[in-house]
Structure 1
Amino acid sequence: MTRLRIYSKPRGAGDQTSGGRGKLLRATSNLTRVQVLVRETLQNSWDAKLDDWIPAYGVYVHRASEDVKRTLSDEVFTSLPESLKVLEDSLTHPKMRVMEIYDRGTSGLDGPFRAGEAAAPGAPNNFNSFVFDIGTTKDERGAGGTFGFGKTATFEVSHAHSVVYWSVCEDDAGVLEHRLIASALHEPYDEAGTRFTGAHWWGDLLEEDIVPLRGAAAQELGERLFETHFGEEETGTSILVIDPEVRVDSQEEAAAERVQVQTEEHEDLLIDEVVEALAYSAWPKVVGAGDEYPPMIFHVYKRGEEIEVSERVSDRYARYGSSLTAIRKKLDQLEGPVEPPQLHVLKETLEPIVLRPRRSFDEPLEEFFGNRSDSTAGFLHLMLTADDGTDRSGPVTSGLPTPKNQLCLMRSKAELVVYYDSVADTDLGGLQWTGVFKPTPECDFHFASSEPPTHDTWTPNTADTEVSAYVVRRTLEAVRRKTRDFLETERMAQSSANRSVRDVANALSNFVPLGPAVSEEEPEPDRSERPGRRRRVTAQRPQAVVTQHHPAPDGLGFMVEFEVKGEGGPEFALHAKPSARTSDGGMVLESSEFRLTWNGHERSGPGKNSAIFRSGSEGELHIATRTALALDLVIDVEEHI
């Protein structure tokens, strides 16, 4: 049996206590602990991806077996000091859960594994950076994670503030090696006259240095603790979060009650929050760039069964994905053709954000824009679409509904969603707008330098240099100005046409399968009538009542189901009149621009777009168009003799 050794870090001059680290993390973000955990571990995985692999990211929450709890107590978290009573209680709780977070197709925690050993210039330092260091900055300009606070988030989600790391990576000789080490970050404490920071590690001792368990022993122990193992020649990292917590009964993190996950219902809550956070922060990872696979693969499990994540995220963020594809194309970042989502786009624009640094700067333009000669800091894509009135978000349990009427701002190469900005409060009636801003690869590092540890905003005044502060500040000003101009132009167009909100909703909804417009004014009642006086009954006007409608499977047109109602002759002639709808109103379609197919009719009608139906019958109309359009449909009904 392998027993890991404990190392508790004594307090030294200049040391930062682990408890203070957690407070620093919580003070810098409006995100919940789980949201920070997801976006940071996901981004670390993305930064570590291998060139020849599609990286995978997975999350699995489950009840720890008795064997796993015994192994954790007897072989991993050994010799617990009194200050870690909370960890001891977690490990002995009969309902304790664990949360596995893993990636594959990444480099793993490679590099030196002794805390005091420096990596050679240009060589990786992932193990020391992730396991031993907090607050370190990555050297790569294109990296999404900048401060290395993702590991702090894992401790914050754990009720016991304790985790186990298991990684497979290449050693200095290029040979695959298993590495396993455990860690806990708690409050500082005193013991036997010595002050300790509250940081603990469990591993192997090498010349009095704490190092990971390595080789076959690490593999054997890891396979007993983790449900997801490593395949042959597979590299990556797995994290076991001990006794995770989930928030309940509140949208406000500060007021939310955090409870230990000890029931299946709490497991579901935690996984739901993970999925929502993945969608909110990582939707670009499911937007294909024209090659066979998406940028990243997700595996999320609920009660032992894998649930679909990528398709759900892709559907909910289709509008943002379309904008990202347009920007990728402009930046020559597509590997091949991309099939556009089935959206009814009424208006869109792609704007370069061009800056003109003032002459007082001594720095050359290369310091601002790299090797770009067009002084472009990024691209902004804005889109106006018909709001179909459906909620694509599904059940929202984490306080992260699908953004609507907001601008998404993201990093460039890493495509990390930084934050969403509503920009302006503009009422567009039955429309919704979305947009994406993405810096150029050459300017991405300016924006990275302005991010806090949790990477959830850009603050120009905190950037590393005056040049970076200028680029971020002026870019954000231009992005917001162009977005407001885009929205104001549409608002003015609607105002000049003197449309009411109701008119706009009718004209620009995803589909309007109605006949004559409803009158704005209700008729005045006939006050000459007295109680008991009999009214004359007026015959019901024949009409085609639409019962259901939906887009055609190929996205080009619609399928309309209806019922024929009316008094008079047994047969009626139905005449269909489809027209296209734009932000400027209706547009008559030429006969070559659409094709009608009737089902359920008796025979063809007297006109090209008509058919004969019996009273009370049900029918279906397929409207096929050459391109995806928002349509208005009028079906005229008259008695057929």
Structure 2
Amino acid sequence: MDPLTVLVRESAQNSLDAADPAGGGVRYSIGLSQPGSEQLLRWRSLLCPGPERANLGIEELLSSGNPVMAVISDRGTQGLGGPLRADVALAPGADFVNLLRNIGEPRDRQFGGGTYGFGKGVLFTTSSIGTILVRTRCRWQGRLQTRLIAAALGTGFQRDGRVYTGRHWWGPIINEIPDPMLDTKAEDIADYLDLPPMHPNETGTDIVIMGAALGTVAVGSEDDEERPRTVHQAAEYLASAMMWNLWPLMLPTDAGVVPLHCQVTADGVNISLPRPEEEPCIRPFVDAYRALDEAPTIIRRKRPATVLGHFAIRTGIAPIHTTVASLAAPFTGSAHHCARMRAPRLVVDYLEGPRSTNDVVHYGAVFVADPEHDQAFADAEPPTHDAWVPDKLTGNAASIIRRAEVELRTELATYVEQQNGMSLSGGTQPPLGALSSRLAGLIPTASGPGADGSGGTFRPDGGGVPAAARITNAPRMVRLDGASRIVAGFQVHPASRPITVQVVTSVALDVGSENEPPVGADIPVVLELRDEVGRIIPGSIVTVGPADRRDWTVVIRPASGAAAKVRLLVTEDDDV
């Protein structure tokens, strides 16, 4: 599993476990940035104050000029409350001690996401120097309290005949123990370091991972060709990881409350995070999840008779184009999997089922373990909570896990066999609205239209595009003045003479495009062209002179129930 995926899974789980019962959902975000020289100087002046240092590489990192800071924030949570010291008798809710002092504590909440707390280690391992800084505000002993402390996990060492574990804390030393800065002092330091704002009566936590390691991205077709991710690439990957691992909690409940509001930023710029039901590759799982409340299949064990969980499965049209959400997909190709989860509704894994013989469709299933057996399923999870492993269990618990997987595989195989039979007999054809969604690789509106670029004209590298003009922003569906519209961006390349561009639309078919629609059929129509400063030209044709604007947007009225193909016809002198 990619380290950034582990980071999302574990940090979101911690935030959800700390949710304020009286709140309206948790606001969870990860922000990546590279601080400027002035801000780095502030970090150095704060964390490198004297001659005795921890040899963690903090000063070297903060002097390197381009370290990445990853800030994980949550609001609508109770913060990290409880006592400051691990030797104080702990009561439920001792989150500060469990995160920053202890390792390996069992979970203290029924149906909590965590089991033994090992996942917190990803906060330190994501840091190139094993160091984090934490600011939290909680309610403690009847009042709000702000706490700020830094912690590090280094290697063990010996000094003056004593053995040290390599664990470090930064804060005022009281009775030989570093404690956090409190209240006004903590808030002043948070402002000094430019941590995310926190309203006066708000509770929550910010965790700064210093020198965040963002992983690598493949270059070219060779598996061994990789380069470090940029801040923007890592942010897009994090957004995708949130979609695949947290989507059940990003859906509104029956009461209209969204349990988890997710956000990702790169140098302060928001990364697009669509609603799960609007992402084609995740939508069948969402549909199956919602079907659990309507007509679920009960997964049972016969001997002894018990309910193991609830199951549902739904089919959709497989998208053609990849999106940002595809970056952290847990499988390649179209969906033929079952998302498995426990009561916290965090996705544990995607159990692979048989593929459909019809590559136009994909399917997604969901299994939620019965709360009565939550402990058995939790105990079957490894520290990263990304599988159910019966071999680590014995007796009835192992039987529950094994039987649940056998029954799920049977359900998936039966469903695919039925679907394949229907496809071969010609008894069922995908609806046109869904087919348009597949052709477009975009989200259809309620009436079903989609949009597509012709050939590869919207590829950012411009491959296969005429030199005079190219589509730079892929066609997408938007709402303009209350109506569904397709918009796309195109750019006219500089030339010594005027260039005329005509935007041509047609209905996209699975084997080409419909250039001659039936009489009276609805067709996509180009309404207007807009340049980058807002000038509007009605119709589909614009002539661009050497001194005119180069970047244009086309607005198209879609055809109901069909995908629109967009092409550019370019005229320079008498050549097309």
Provide TM-score, normalisation by structure 1.
0.65
2: CA distance between counterparts of 1:552 and 1:101?
33
Q: Aligned residue for 1:492?
A: 421
Q: What is the number of residues matched between the two proteins?
A: 467
CA contact (8 A) 1:299 1:306 kept: yes
Unaligned runs of 5+ in 1: 1-30, 260-264, 331-348, 359-364, 366-374, 515-546, 564-571, 577-595, 601-619, 631-641
CA contact (8 A) 2:247 2:276 kept: no
1:432-453 deviation line (CA, Å, top 9, x unaligned): 1111111123322221111000
CA contact (8 A) 1:323 1:381 kept: yes
Shift of 1:63: 2.0
1:278-310 deviation line (CA, Å, top 9, x unaligned): 112111122222333422112221232223314
Shift of 1:411: 2.7
CA contact (8 A) 2:316 2:434 kept: no
Q: Aligned residue for 1:170?
A: 139
CA contact (8 A) 1:40 1:149 kept: no
Answering whether residue 179 of structure 2 is matched by residue 211 of structure 1, we say yes
Shift of 1:379: 0.9
**Aligned letter for 2:180?**
P
1:317-360 deviation line (CA, Å, top 9, x unaligned): 22211111121x25xxxxxxxxxxxxxxxxxx7311022334xx
Q: Aligned residue for 2:7?
A: 37
Report the RMSD for the aligned CA atoms in angstroms.
Answer: 3.7
Shift of 1:558: 8.9
Q: Aligned residue for 2:73?
A: 102
Note closer, same or farther for the CA distance 1:511–1:61 as it changes in structure 2 (3 Å cut).
closer
2: CA distance between counterparts of 1:439 and 1:51?
23
Which of 440, 456, 473 is 2:370 aligned to? Answer: 440
2: CA distance between counterparts of 1:457 and 1:550?
31
Shift of 1:255: 6.5
CA contact (8 A) 2:34 2:66 kept: yes
- Residue correspondence of structure 1 range 7-86 to structure 2 within 5 A: 31-53=1-23, 54-79=25-50, 84-86=55-57
Provide TM-score, normalisation by structure 2.
0.72
Note closer, same or farther for the CA distance 1:552–1:189 as it changes in structure 2 (3 Å cut).
closer
Name the SS of the counterpart of 1:39 in structure 2. helix
Shift of 1:399: 6.2
2: CA distance between counterparts of 1:575 and 1:549?
28
CA contact (8 A) 2:284 2:315 kept: no
Name the SS of the counterpart of 2:345 in structure 1. coil
Shift of 1:209: 2.7
2: CA distance between counterparts of 1:182 and 1:621?
55
CA contact (8 A) 1:101 1:239 kept: yes
Unaligned runs of 5+ in 2: 453-504, 508-515, 526-556, 564-576
CA contact (8 A) 1:382 1:435 kept: yes
Which of 259, 277, 289 is 1:324 aligned to? Answer: 289
Answering whether residue 228 of structure 2 is matched by residue 298 of structure 1, we say no
Name the SS of the counterpart of 1:182 in structure 2. strand
Q: Aligned residue for 1:343?
A: none
**Aligned letter for 1:284?**
P
- Residue correspondence of structure 1 range 132-171 to structure 2 within 5 A: 132-171=101-140
2: CA distance between counterparts of 1:33 and 1:226?
26
2: CA distance between counterparts of 1:34 and 1:512?
33
Shift of 1:155: 1.2
Shift of 1:268: 0.9
**Aligned letter for 2:414?**
D
Note closer, same or farther for the CA distance 1:79–1:149 as it changes in structure 2 (3 Å cut).
farther
Answering whether residue 373 of structure 2 is matched by residue 404 of structure 1, we say no
1: CA distance between counterparts of 2:435 and 2:108?
57
Answering whether residue 412 of structure 2 is matched by residue 483 of structure 1, we say yes
Answering whether residue 278 of structure 2 is matched by residue 381 of structure 1, we say no
Q: Aligned residue for 2:97?
A: 128
Note closer, same or farther for the CA distance 1:431–1:201 as it changes in structure 2 (3 Å cut).
same
Shift of 1:177: 0.2
- Residue correspondence of structure 1 range 594-609 to structure 2 within 5 A: none
Shift of 1:385: 2.7
Note closer, same or farther for the CA distance 1:308–1:165 as it changes in structure 2 (3 Å cut).
same
Which of 290, 300, 306 is 1:354 aligned to? Answer: 300
Note closer, same or farther for the CA distance 1:255–1:124 as it changes in structure 2 (3 Å cut).
farther
2: CA distance between counterparts of 1:111 and 1:188?
28
1:541-583 deviation line (CA, Å, top 9, x unaligned): xxxxxx99999743368999869xxxxxxxx99568xxxxxxx
1: CA distance between counterparts of 2:156 and 2:172?
23
1: CA distance between counterparts of 2:233 and 2:448?
39
Return the structure number with greater relative CO, CA threshold 8 A, min gap 6. 1
Name the SS of the counterpart of 1:111 in structure 2. coil
2: CA distance between counterparts of 1:66 and 1:83?
23
1:246-283 deviation line (CA, Å, top 9, x unaligned): 2224399x968685xxxxx7211221221121112111
1:217-243 deviation line (CA, Å, top 9, x unaligned): 111112222431211211111001111
Answering whether residue 447 of structure 2 is matched by residue 555 of structure 1, we say yes
2: CA distance between counterparts of 1:395 and 1:559?
18
**Aligned letter for 1:442?**
E
- Residue correspondence of structure 1 range 387-426 to structure 2 within 5 A: 387=318, 389-391=319-321, 393-394=323-324, 396-398=326-328, 404-426=334-356
Note closer, same or farther for the CA distance 1:574–1:416 as it changes in structure 2 (3 Å cut).
closer
Note closer, same or farther for the CA distance 1:230–1:599 as it changes in structure 2 (3 Å cut).
closer
Note closer, same or farther for the CA distance 1:255–1:224 as it changes in structure 2 (3 Å cut).
farther
Larger radius of gyration: 1
Name which of structure 1's ranges 70-79 and 99-108 shifts more when overlaid on structure 2.
70-79
Answering whether residue 192 of structure 2 is matched by residue 224 of structure 1, we say yes
Give the % identical residues: 22
1:147-181 deviation line (CA, Å, top 9, x unaligned): 2133211111111111101100011x220100111
1: CA distance between counterparts of 2:46 and 2:87?
26
- Residue correspondence of structure 1 range 451-600 to structure 2 within 5 A: 451-463=381-393, 466-495=395-424, 497=425, 507-508=429-430, 510=432, 553-555=445-447, 574=518
1: CA distance between counterparts of 2:517 and 2:327?
50
Which of 249, 252, 255 is 1:288 aligned to? Answer: 252
1: CA distance between counterparts of 2:186 and 2:227?
33
CA contact (8 A) 1:355 1:376 kept: yes
**Aligned letter for 2:19?**
K
CA contact (8 A) 2:236 2:271 kept: no
CA contact (8 A) 1:181 1:202 kept: yes
CA contact (8 A) 1:246 1:258 kept: no
1:481-528 deviation line (CA, Å, top 9, x unaligned): 111111122223444x2x7xxx99xx54746999xxxxxxxxxxxxxx
Name the SS of the counterpart of 2:275 in structure 1. helix
2: CA distance between counterparts of 1:436 and 1:299?
25
Note closer, same or farther for the CA distance 1:84–1:397 as it changes in structure 2 (3 Å cut).
farther
Name the SS of the counterpart of 2:108 in structure 1. coil
Note closer, same or farther for the CA distance 1:487–1:41 as it changes in structure 2 (3 Å cut).
same
Name the SS of the counterpart of 2:262 in structure 1. strand
Name the SS of the counterpart of 2:57 in structure 1. helix
Note closer, same or farther for the CA distance 1:86–1:209 as it changes in structure 2 (3 Å cut).
closer
Shift of 1:96: 2.2
Shift of 1:314: 4.3
1: CA distance between counterparts of 2:212 and 2:182?
27
2: CA distance between counterparts of 1:249 and 1:621?
37
Name which of structure 1's ranges 467-476 and 302-311 shifts more when overlaid on structure 2.
302-311
Name the SS of the counterpart of 1:413 in structure 2. coil
